[in-house]
A and B are shown apart, each in its own frame.
Chain A
């Protein structure tokens, strides 16, 4: 193509694409910096509730996630299930999970550990209370209810 044009007119009227890689690299770096890798594959459907008084979660490495919602695949039923890391779990698995998460961390960072509960909005509070009780038992007291930013109700 380029050759074709050049033959027709010697004057180089086309736009230089030499800076295209630079522009793409810039975009690439932007995404590399802002990105957070998907560390788990979700097996449960989660539509978080909306709230206005939200705070940002800091220090990603100090956060452990507990997912709770109806399973994506119908063969697992429609009752809300807990997901820890990549697998379904029961309420009794939460304590070992938090302990193992804690062992990965530096000792002086342990008080700053946060547990993020990502719970589907249709879930009933019963199972959420069970999880909260387990967290209290294992002394993981900082909890973040993951929400979307929504409009005020009043």
Chain B
């Protein structure tokens, strides 16, 4: 500015194209960018062992059996069920608020056994995983609210561990069957 006043000859670099260059870069990043897509359901697989898993005797009332067939139909504890009811059923089973003899003795002993068919769709499988996870998350939330008055996700690490200990998430997955091949 001062220079301009001194001599009118245009000696400075023209910055008018700066915006164009920046636009070019901007468009490049817009095109190469991928938003989100890195969210998902985290699980932990059991370690591999060559021998068959030992027959752990879990008393029947402590196992919550979820079966899915190749037509994506659910069988929960021997009865047909809809995916929308799975979460509430699982919650009732784990927490057992009315001390029923058919449901889990305590959340510590509750085991969810999940078995699917090789023909089950991945969508259905994810939905079941999601519902079971939701059941545990809600129970943990309720417990955290009862104990500390805040939600589970807002707790500090030590308290989170305590809640996690009270409601361990034990989901056992059996090797899928290949029953639905002919259909």
The smallest C-beta distance from A49 to any residue of chain B, in angstroms, reads 4
Given A129-B118, A145-B43, the answer on whether A56 and B131 have CB atoms closer than 8 Å is: no
B contacts with A, residue count (CB < 8 A): 51
The verdict on B29 contacting chain A, using a C-beta distance below 8 Å, is yes
Whole-angstrom distance between the alpha carbons of A136 and B47 in the complex?
6
Q: Which of A17, A53, A135 has the most CB of B within 10 A?
A: A53
The verdict on B96 contacting chain A, using a C-beta distance below 8 Å, is no
The verdict on B51 contacting chain A, using a C-beta distance below 8 Å, is no
The verdict on B168 contacting chain A, using a C-beta distance below 8 Å, is no
**Binding-face segment, B31-39, B105-113, B154-162:** B31-39
Contact A55 B178 (CB under 8 A): no
The verdict on B26 contacting chain A, using a C-beta distance below 8 Å, is yes
Contact A153 B26 (CB under 8 A): no
When C-beta atoms are compared, the residue in chain A nearest to B38 turns out to be A57
Given A54-B39, A136-B46, A142-B44, the answer on whether A36 and B19 have CB atoms closer than 8 Å is: no
Interface residue SS majority, chain A = mixed
The smallest C-beta distance from B17 to any residue of chain A, in angstroms, reads 9
The verdict on A78 contacting chain B, using a C-beta distance below 8 Å, is no
The verdict on A66 contacting chain B, using a C-beta distance below 8 Å, is no
Whole-angstrom distance between the alpha carbons of A148 and B39 in the complex?
7
By a CB distance below 8 angstroms, the chain B residues around A51 are: 40-41, 126-127, 129-130
Whole-angstrom distance between the alpha carbons of A37 and B44 in the complex?
27
Contact B176 A20 (CB under 8 A): no
Q: Using an 8 Å CB-CB cutoff, how does the interface string of B13-38 with A read, 1 for contact, 0 for none?
A: 00110110011011001101110011
**Binding-face segment, A6-14, A83-91, A118-126:** A118-126
Contact partner of B40 among A60, A124, A128, A147, CB < 8 A?
A: A147
Whole-angstrom distance between the alpha carbons of A63 and B22 in the complex?
32
When C-beta atoms are compared, the residue in chain A nearest to B33 turns out to be A35
The verdict on A77 contacting chain B, using a C-beta distance below 8 Å, is no
When C-beta atoms are compared, the residue in chain A nearest to B126 turns out to be A49
A–B complex contacts, Cβ < 8 Å, 7 sampled: A17-B19, A49-B126, A114-B42, A124-B119, A129-B118, A139-B48, A154-B88
Which residues of A are at the interface with B, using a C-beta cutoff of 8 A? 17-18, 20-21, 24-25, 27-28, 31-32, 34-38, 48-57, 60, 63, 114, 116, 118-126, 128-129, 132-133, 135-137, 139-149, 152-154
Q: A28-B25, A140-B45, A144-B42 are in contact. List 7 more A-B contacts (CB 8 A).
A: A36-B38, A114-B42, A122-B123, A129-B176, A139-B47, A143-B42, A154-B134
Q: What are the 10 tightest A-B residue pairs by CB atom distance, in nearest-first order?
A: A126-B118, A21-B18, A121-B123, A24-B22, A136-B48, A31-B29, A51-B130, A53-B133, A49-B126, A146-B40
